[in-house]
Amino acid sequence: MNTLLDLVALLGRTVFVVTRGAGSIALFALEGVSCFFRPPFYWRVFLQSLTDTGFLSLPVVALTALFSGGVIALQSYTGFAQYHAQSAIANIVVLAVTRELGPVMAGLMVAGRVGAAMAAQIGTMRVTDQIDALTTLRTHPMKYLVAPRLAAGVIALPLLVVVADILGVAGGFTVATVKLGFAPDNYIAATMNALKTEDVMVGLVKATVFGFLITLMGCYYGYTSRGGAEGVGSATTSAVVSASILVLAFDYLLTDLFFAQ
């Protein structure tokens, strides 16, 4: 009987902690978004965050997309060759890249790189009392630290996904024509026939949501970190893990919303 009560108590505490955490993140997000519409907006911080999130993440996103497109082409050929359906490889590559791999792989790469950096930077400012100093100087910390980064994430990730889509399809084209012996003209024609504006737009919508979630997690865990260097390290880990999980979870939810019949 005591064991059963302990399990019920543990379940209750877990539900309470999860609910409280979700509510805290939701309130943090609402305050960050509300700062978009209340001056001042710190353009210098925004442009720096846009550079860090977008331009400096370009190499890792580009390489990931390029090799992912090539892998899809190889794996598709291995499976479709059994049914003599190799001609569908171009369709599969463009659909997989624009709908899923482009936004998801870009989101995960940015979560690992940018989410961790934001959490570490803001967390260090928190434990060294720099955020309190901003308040003393009559600078709203949410306006200065959070709002520009959220805006940068929402803008930068869709731009990265456009690049990822192009390079992912290019990777599939390179493998298909160089290694698998496809005729370049035929492969390009099949790709253009399979490419749909709807698929690209859905990928960009996903990227916008992912960009917001990644920067939100980085800012939230950095902003609420405590406990010196150990707390900053824990906040960095939590930001990357939570952002990655949210990217995958919202990928499923958005896919179900747009493509479920």
Tokens at 228, concatenated? 């010196």
Tell me how far apart the terminal alpha carbons of the chain are, to the nearest angstrom: 47
pLDDT(18) > 60: yes
**pLDDT at residue 260, rounded to an integer:** 66
123-176 per-position pLDDT tens digit: 999 888 888 888 888 888 899 999 999 999 999 999 999 999 999 999 999 998
Distance CA(200)–CA(39), nearest Å, equals 34
pTM of the model: 0.89
Tokens at 1, concatenated? 């009987």
pLDDT top residue among 184 and 21:
184
pLDDT(14) > 80: yes
Q: Where is 62: in which H helix or E strand?
A: helix 58-80
How sure is the predictor about 1, in pLDDT bands with cuts at 50, 70 and 90?
Answer: low
46-73 per-position pLDDT tens digit: 999 999 998 999 999 999 999 999 999 8
Q: Which residues, at least 6 apart from 127, have a Cβ–Cβ distance to it below 8 Å?
A: 225, 226, 227, 228, 229, 231, 232
77-89 per-position pLDDT tens digit: 877 777 776 778 8
Q: Are 208 and 158 in contact (CB under 8 A)?
A: yes
The b-or-e profile of 29-59 (16+ CB within 10 A means b, else e) is beebeebeeeeeebeebbeebbebbbeebee
Q: Mean pLDDT throughout 186-209?
A: 90
Average pLDDT across the chain, whole number? 88
